[in-house]
């Protein structure tokens, strides 16, 4: 999004170390300066919490990310204000390339599974997790297919799955 990129650019200019944001500089940035960059009060609180937790070692360093298992990353990162399980799962899939992630709270994944399985009503996340066990250790691939299935109107998706 262009607006978000503009705000990030302003924050990067505000902080002295250049294009890569460091937790210490972010933690020390004043609310007034961040507000002038376009960062809302709620996002400021989230950024400050992220910086504090990074400094405290709760947020793993980049080189540590690949070494931690999925649930350990979920536990550590969801301790940060504004970061939920879904956000971490998207990072696991799209940034870390993890092969066995099924984001059962994602509406697109749930809708795709509902169509694939011929359900009239949405699956509950717990039930989808149970069904998804059979797709291990390739649940990320299943998620990608489920998102794609959800992109089609129901009738087209059902017809394609029957072909």
Task: Tell me which residues are annotated as active site.
Answer: 106
C-alpha 12 chain-centroid distance: 22
What does the block give as tokens for 18? 């250049």
Note whether 62 and 39 are within 8 A (CB).
no
Phi, psi angle pair for 70, to nearest 5°: -55, -50
CA distance 39 to 28: 15
**Helix axis angle, 85-94 to 70-77, nearest 10°:** 130
Sign of the dihedral defined by the CA atoms of residues 126, 130, 135, 137, in that order = positive
């Amino acid at each position: 999004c262009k607006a978000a990129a503009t705000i990030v650019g302003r924050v990067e200019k505000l902080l002295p170390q250049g294009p890569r944001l460091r937790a210490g500089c972010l933690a020390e940035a004043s609310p007034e300066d961040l507000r002038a960059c376009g960062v809302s009060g709620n996002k400021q609180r989230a950024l400050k919490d992220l910086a504090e937790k990074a400094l405290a070692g709760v947020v793993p360093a980049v080189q540590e990310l690949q070494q931690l298992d999925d649930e350990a990353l979920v536990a550590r990162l969801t301790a940060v204000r504004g970061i939920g399980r879904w956000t971490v799962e998207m990072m696991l899939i799209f940034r870390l390339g993890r092969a066995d992630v099924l984001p059962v709270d994602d509406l697109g994944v749930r809708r795709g599974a509902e169509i694939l399985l011929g359900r009239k009503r949405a699956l509950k996340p717990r039930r989808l997790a149970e069904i998804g066990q059979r797709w291990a250790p390739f649940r990320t691939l299943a998620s990608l297919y489920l998102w794609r299935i959800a992109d089609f109107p129901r009738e087209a998706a059902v017809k394609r799955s029957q072909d």
